[in-house]
Amino acid sequence: MRFGIRIGRKLIGVLLLLLPLLVNSIQAGQPSASSPLHPNPRVERKFQYYFLEALRQRSLKNYDAAADNLYRCLCLDPNRAAVYSELANINISVGRIKLAKNYMLKAVSLDPTNVWTNQVLAQLYTDNNEYDLAATTYENVLKNNPENSEYYYYMLAQIYTQTKQYDKALNAWEGLEESTGINDRITMEKFKIYVLQDKQKKAFSEVDKLIKAFPRDTKFKVLKGDLYQAVGDSKKAEKAYKNALKSTPNDAVAKTQLALLYVSTKREDEGMNLIRSVLSDSSADLEVKRNILAYVAQDSIVLNRIDDSIFLNLIKMHSNEEFPYLAYSSFLIDKKNPEGFKYIRKALEINPKYEESWSILINYYMMQNDTMGVYNTCTEALEHFPENPNFYYTLGMVYQNMDKKDSTIIAWEKSVELLKSKNLPLASVIQGSMGDIYSSMGKKAEAYAAYDSAIVMDEKNVLALNNYAYSLAVDGQNLQKAERMSGIAVQSSPKNAIYLDTYAWVYFKQGNYLLAMMYIEQAYANGGGSNAEMLEHYGDILFMNGEKGKALEIWKQAYAMRTSESNTEKYDGLEKLKQKIESGEYVE
């Protein structure tokens, strides 16, 4: 028979002799393709060839070709468990789980003691919420493979707990404990089950077994106290913590838990004494101190009993750790003391990898209107967090305040690039702001492109829709598109004076002065009278509707607003506005 591969006859003979051995090595732990062998050696060689080719095709993810070779194997010998097992694997890979389960059932029926096929079948049952069948399968595997029992006991315990068969779950955990030895993970699982069964005495006897097995380990004595707290027995919890402190008087965790127990039972003085004891202990673990202060921060009564000396002492003891500085900074900031921000800076000098602390510091400088403080902190933060889009956005705002428009664009482009995969609506807002910057620079093509991009990112970005529409109206370009976009903005916020003004101006540019009047009057009624630009638009629209006297009056109001001492906005059209007033005519 031709297999489509040209190799020497002698090499073919050697390969065919080796095929059964190769399959045995490849299929270690799985059903063997070569046992039992077919009585006809020629048929067996064909079988082995197709089977190995199926394995090769599956490794290349050529699943159809792999299945085709396996079906050829079945034609030669329909009673090989390995073939059904491989067909199940292929169907799992392509998501045909029901068919995979049927094939694996067939494999198990042909080779009932095979660990691997039973394990896969049990997992298929579990994934399909067929817990009883999964448990039966694992029990069978455990019976046939007692030397590797840990995994199967664990899976049985999980299944029986999930199905609330608690006695069976306990038996599984005990089997695992007998196999691996006593440990806190198994003890906790048994404890939880006994509590669910309302058998607290048995639950705590499990913890006592753990303490007896590890008499020198204080953490299990503390655990007993924690568990008594969890079930609402504060008296026994206190006794357990004190018992832990008898054997290890300076144990920081035991002291901490007892302190928090005192605080929660309105014994704040006793609790605070223990808290101070732990915080002032230079040998106490820093993580324990961190947990204490995290708790204290949530309890206003205890927080009021904390003073600066505790934090300053922590800083003295752990001067090379960032945590005491950050803890003190939070304490000071909560008390509205700006000195807290200096301690954030000190913490970042020790360890700059606290992203949130950089953000807090940047926001502080922004509140202080400290432009250089924001700039310096942003640039420094970006050295450590170059993938933070918020830092780039803030940096762009700084450049905008400095009137460095090109630098603003560069910073915001980076921010948008990083935000696209995380927060598309926010990326759209920044992209729209870039359109505003380009528009102010007179770069119309770039502005339009930026606005288009912003709207593609988020079609509900009404600010970009409005600003784009206004830019088009000012330039007299694509007024139909401007009308559509402006209409969406007004529909979303029908009392927004800015959006109403844009809509009015689009209609004005189209020569539809009646509609322009309707929307500019709405803009005026919704606060537009305090905006010089809207007032000028109102005057222009009044003029085109034949109300020249009122138009002149409104233009004068706009001019007064533009030239007032409180107005710092630069306006290039002031001379044109003056001409309108002097001539009493609209000037384009």
Which tokens belong to 103? 């094939």
Query: 325: buried, middle or exposed (CB in 10 Å: 19+, 13-18, 0-12)?
Result: buried
Distances (CA, A) of 77 to 24, 44, 117, 425: 17, 9, 19, 60
Residues 113 and 279: their CA atoms lie apart, in Å, by 60
Residues 153 and 477: their CA atoms lie apart, in Å, by 74
For residue 427, the model assigns a pLDDT of 97
Residues 581 and 588: their CA atoms lie apart, in Å, by 13
Residues 472 and 538: their CA atoms lie apart, in Å, by 19
Contacts of 149 (CB under 8 A, 6+ apart): 142, 175, 176, 179
Query: 587: buried, middle or exposed (CB in 10 Å: 19+, 13-18, 0-12)?
Result: middle
Cβ–Cβ < 8 Å for 243, 218: no
Query: 543: buried, middle or exposed (CB in 10 Å: 19+, 13-18, 0-12)?
Result: buried
One-letter amino acid at 285 equals D
Neighbours of 381 (CB within 10 A): 24
Residues 191 and 169: their CA atoms lie apart, in Å, by 12
CATH fold for domain 1-128 = 1.25.40
Helix (H, G, I), strand (E, B) or coil at 233: coil
Rg of the Cα atoms in the chain? 38
User: Where exactly does CATH 1.25.40.10 map onto the chain?
Assistant: 1-128
Angle at 173 between CA 170 and CA 177, to 5 degrees: 135
Distances (CA, A) of 289 to 296, 300, 308, 327, 333: 10, 18, 15, 10, 20
Instruction: Answer yes or no: CATH 1.25.40 is held by domain 182-249.
Output: yes
Mean pLDDT by 10-residue block, N- to C-terminus, for the chain (588 residues)?
A: 32 32 38 62 92 94 95 93 94 93 94 90 92 93 85 93 94 92 91 92 92 90 91 92 90 89 88 88 87 80 82 92 91 90 94 94 94 96 96 96 95 96 96 96 95 96 97 95 96 96 97 96 94 94 95 94 73 87 91
For residue 571, the model assigns a pLDDT of 74
Cβ–Cβ < 8 Å for 223, 254: no
Which tokens belong to 573? 């059209």
Distances (CA, A) of 491 to 26, 201, 495, 528: 68, 67, 9, 18
Omega before 36 within 30 of 0, i.e. cis: yes
Residues 413 and 228: their CA atoms lie apart, in Å, by 56
Cβ–Cβ < 8 Å for 517, 541: yes
Contacts of 515 (CB under 8 A, 6+ apart): 504, 507
